[in-house]
Structure 1
Amino acid sequence: MTPYFFRFVALFVSLFVASIAQADRPILVGGDLNYPPYEFLNEQGEPDGYNTELTLAIAEVMGMDVNIQLGSWDDMRSLLEQGKLDVLQGMAYSTGRTDKYDFSPAHALVHQSIFARKGTAKVNNLNELAGKEIIVQRAGVMHDFFINSGIDAKLILVDTHAAALRLLASGQYDYALVANLPGLYLGKELELSNITPVGRPFGANQYGYAVMKGNTDLLAQFSEGLAILKNTGRHQKIYDKWLGPLEQDGFPWKEVGLITGSISGILLVILGGIVVWNRMLTREVSRRTDELKQQQKQLMQADKMASLGILVSGVAHEINNPSSLLLLNLPVIQEFYSDAEEILEAHFQAHGDFYIAGLEYSRMRDEIPSMLQDMLTGAQKIRRIVNDLKDFARETPDDLKEPVDLNEILEVAIRLVDNTIRQSCNQFKVEYTQPLPYFYGSAQKIEQVIINLIVNACQALETSNQAINVRTFLKDEHHLCLEVWDQGKGIAPAHMARLCDPFFTTRREEGGTGLGLFISSKIVQEHGGSLVYESSSQGTKAILTFSVA
């Protein structure tokens, strides 16, 4: 037995231990400590805001362990470039930044605004700021812009948007250039009543996750998680919770009301008959608007699914290649270690315990086989999840004539929401009736309905000790069923008749939109099936029924 052999074994074990240690380290996520409502430290000194909640949701659906750290923006960018942070959870995209950073698809659009003290004339374009003293955030997107713009303005650099607005309100300098929503938010919070935006918001920057150039594997995880949240509607709930109210508050309703009132008064004085004509037009516009909204929802959903399909295809290609290498090489390594184990064991019996890569052989000899097997099982699970996501995002035919196996799509749906199930419930039971006849329809759409029912059941539980039971069965020779029963808090009798109404929800304060069961109900109706609910203080039962093909 040559020294080279032991060196090889030691190198193999050390590399393996290093890879395990790296995998166990949480992903370090950075952000701005004072950039509300996107990200900020709350009263308890903890990370909060839209970006923070979105990051935690992505970590949940992707099974990632993240550690969120907020500090001054300049420091966060420096830590990312030094490798002390893995990802920034919110950075405005610009072409000048692509030399250093890679960006995920945008999860928001961030506009910039020019703030000044009241009484200052409006600014129509940035060239009018030449020769002025402008307050901007250090290392922010406006700082980057002015460095390369050629506009001869004196820049006053501060660490936060709040510091910029305070300086301006105190009577110092001419203007402050800050992000629109954070500026409006901080102006109200700090009660800075003597400053106001002068001019319209500009520079709609795409705002998303950013990593150092080349860190595509990590970026793909966040991009994939974001696509899943968008497809399931969870991203929209988080967006509406944090950004919706401020966007509405920022609209100049008072000015619009005054202008509308003046015009209406003039028109009423000139031609009273226009009132009747206006009512007729209003009815027609309302009808057309409803039609356009419905078409827009369909286009948005189609765009989401197309984007998810493109993303999944790219992610599947990037993940399947290394996964294939793992699935190919791990059995070889297992066989290699099995053969080497006899030699190592003989050496152990003859000379006693010895060290490999700083660890006792007596400890590692029982652990390495199980480690290798766990790695192989994990690689197989990665491939299965990628295949499930590809099936979920695949475009479905409109004629609903695909043979659907209810047991098969139930298995896929459970795998996709496995993390949500495990976090909500310790007692999850599934019963499959075998064999089960198929029915005609769209597997993807029915999978969406099942995911919705299981997630609703998880959200209804008050403790993790309450159970969820799911089963498939034949109601009779012509109908097959899927039943989801939870031991949660149940549904109030007054709400039962409104469960499938659009925008009806009892979870509005938690970000619920009331569209999940409405969409599910429409999908079931398209398939000629039924979705009924039974509820009591002991929980809720949802029963999905389809006609046998």
Structure 2
Amino acid sequence: MDKLRICASIKHPPFEFINEKGAIEGFNIDITKSIAKEMGFDVNIELLEWDDAIKKMERRECDAIQGMSISRERIEKYVFASEYITVFHSAIALIDRNDLNDLTDLNDYKVAVQENDGYELIKKIRSRGNNKSMLISTNHENNLRLLLSKEVDIVIGNKLTLLYYMDKLGIKGGFKLLGKPINITRYGIAFNKGNSNTAFKFKIGMDRIKANGVYESIYDKWFGQNIVYYGKQIIENVDTGVIYIDKLGRISAVNNFAEKLLHIDSKNLIFKSFYETEIANIFNINIIQGILDYYQDAYYGKIKINIDNIYYYLEVNYIKLLDKKNELMGVLINFKDITEKTKLEEFLIRKDKMESLGFLLLNVAHELRNPLTSIKNFTELMPEHIDEEEFRESLLYHIPKQVDYINKLVSNLLEYSKPKEAELTTINVKQFFDNELLSLFYKLIKAEKNITFCIDIAEEFSIIADPNQLKQVLINLIQNASDSIKESGIIKIYSSENKDTKVIAIEDDGEPIAESDLSKVFDPFFTTKPSGTGLGLFICYQLIKENNGNIEIANIQNGTKVSLIFNNKGEMQ
């Protein structure tokens, strides 16, 4: 039996390390031993400081080194057997560093890395002439201690190993991850040049243990990701797409429905990081990474994707999965095809718009005819009656009034016809009222009226909407509420929410709307105001629909209540 000398890192848990009993163990250890057993090799694995292990490899005092990240430079130097796991290299800082929320410029901070770890990243930092801001130590544990003592600002390393040592030191809650992963690192077993035959045999061995289930058993042992726990039979027989990504970001399961709908082959995805596959081009990688980094629990949204030049609409749920000990296991993405439903809705919306346009044009013609007829009549009478003082006074009173009405009507129609799409963003409604609206509200109220505003918006209450369009709607509604109050009254504005909806409510204690008119208030040109055009609420309705919301009006005991209703589950990505 051939004897192989293999070196590895002594402090690289859970991949390789020395346990409390003094024995070597870890994921990489089990993988190497399983391949050796499959292919008839006898291996002697020696754990060293990582830099010492690499030097020993360079002196050819060992035949191979396990747990080495695969890079372009290293491929030129070594011969790799198949990669066997993909991990993230991330940046972390102390949780109280409010100046550090994202990794923007490493030159501004002191950064600690492990020697010969994050190989490409270290090279990139050094190429900037940034040696002074970088501290290199022998392992991740030492770097964490440097961070605790504030000798460095940031530590960069293998995310899973850093989390392991945080737990060991009892300080996991004192750190935060900075932004997305810096590096997606593929680990493999590297052999010296000249050992190509052995490397090839190890590649065959890797394929075998993946095929016979040994690899999956080892993976489940160390990372607790046994998808059987969730029932492979169940996810294969549901009529929704299911993709399971474990806590290392590895795609662990893709069901038949997902394969067919997305035109993907699970054989090309399983065991790979989601960043390296077409999954990253379809689904929201920020949400997936946010769940993996403990920033987010779940998310619901709708997406539009292009597959073979055909557009599909999907309804997507991103769910955090926990094991029996309430520990993170990964992210479950489940989705369903709503293309036909969405196309039907779009057709009905277009149909409704065309019908509304026809109704609108008829009413525009009617509304314009009245003032134009009045102007025409005065014009025809002018030659005969222009010398009459009473006629001239009537002419000067009515003609400008009719022209103002036409101008107001046209202005409202132009506002409605502006082809501006809603630019949706998250709005903190309380701040929005404080900064954008309160002073405007008071300007809307006539000087002779005594109106009190009672505003009760929760501090953290937020919605997804277009700020300018929301402002336009609220100003219109406040003006209507003011107009319904004769001399004095109260306008209440408050927020409420449940698991499905968020609501901004506006109540007034003015004159209620006649019950027979409630069903007509959103119709174009319907108005009860002597000088109104009847387009205000019609435009409000259209704008709220553009913002994925709804508007309802109802009479209450002492007046009228208008509710702006928004979805509480998320919006289009």
Bucket of the pairwise TM-score, normalised by the shorter protein: 0.3 to 0.5
Larger of the two Rg values belongs to structure: 2
Higher share in helix: 1
